[in-house]
Amino acid sequence: MYVCLCKGITDTQIRTAVASGLTHYRELRLALGLSTQCGKCGVHAREVFREAVHPESTHSTLYYSAAQVV
């Protein structure tokens, strides 16, 4: 999925950069050019970066669990 439309950067590219050794978001921004034009990708790019660096601590904020009806 595209994270940055201005530069055409995908979540796969971010995950690949992390797998190749990038450990700081600043390094990722410099390497890929994230948030250098309109800046709208910054928040989502940081989320993808965090998930790639710490996959065990991902908490999906896209949905809420439904209550179980007894």
Whether 68 has a pLDDT exceeding 70, the answer reads no
Which domain, by its residues, includes 27? Answer: 2-57
Of 9, 53, 11, which Cα lies nearest the Cα of 35? Answer: 9
Total domains in the chain come to: 1
- Is this prediction's pTM over 0.85? no
Whether 63 has a pLDDT exceeding 70, the answer reads no
Q: Give percent above pLDDT 70 in the chain.
A: 80
**Assigned domain for 32 exists:** yes
Provide mean pLDDT across the span 54-66: 60
Of 40, 51, 39, 55, which Cα lies nearest the Cα of 11? Answer: 51
**Assigned domain for 62 exists:** no
- Secondary structure letter of residue 38 according to DSSP: S
**Assigned domain for 63 exists:** no
- Secondary structure letter of residue 58 according to DSSP: -
**Assigned domain for 67 exists:** no
Of 11, 69, 3, 2, which Cα lies nearest the Cα of 39? Answer: 3
- Read off the pLDDT of residues 22-46 as tens digits, 9 standing for 90 and up: 999 999 999 999 988 998 999 999 9
CATH of the domain at 47: 1.10.10.1100
